[in-house]
Amino acid sequence: MAAKAVNNYRLVDTTLYVTLEPCIMCMGAIIHARIKRVVFGAGDPKWGAAVSLYRLADDTRLNHHPEIVSGILEEQTRHLIKDFFIHKRSI
């Protein structure tokens, strides 16, 4: 939707706010889209590709390096995600 709004798949000078640390596939899309900054709350030690398991934004072999800001409202976002999946499993 964002790419459609700016009429370009590259989202230059944008900031992506998410609750959970992006996975490998998401970081690939973020890098490809040239998103400037990624801000997230909870890290993901099992799948995280921004700071926890991998650090794709720091990989010098890639042509774009988004700024990573982590730990913003970490406890609140962790609870939000946990509650979401508890609810989802109960449906």
Q: Each residue of 46-86: pLDDT tens digit? A: 999 999 999 999 999 999 999 999 999 999 999 999 999 99
- Rounded distance, CA 84 to CA 39, Å? 20
- Look up the pTM and report it: 0.90
| Average pLDDT of the segment spanning 3-9 | 94
Q: Each residue of 8-39: pLDDT tens digit? A: 999 999 999 999 999 999 999 999 999 999 99
- Rounded distance, CA 26 to CA 87, Å? 24
- Rounded distance, CA 79 to CA 74, Å? 9
What is the pLDDT, as a whole number, of residue 50? 98
Q: Is the pLDDT of residue 91 over 90?
A: no
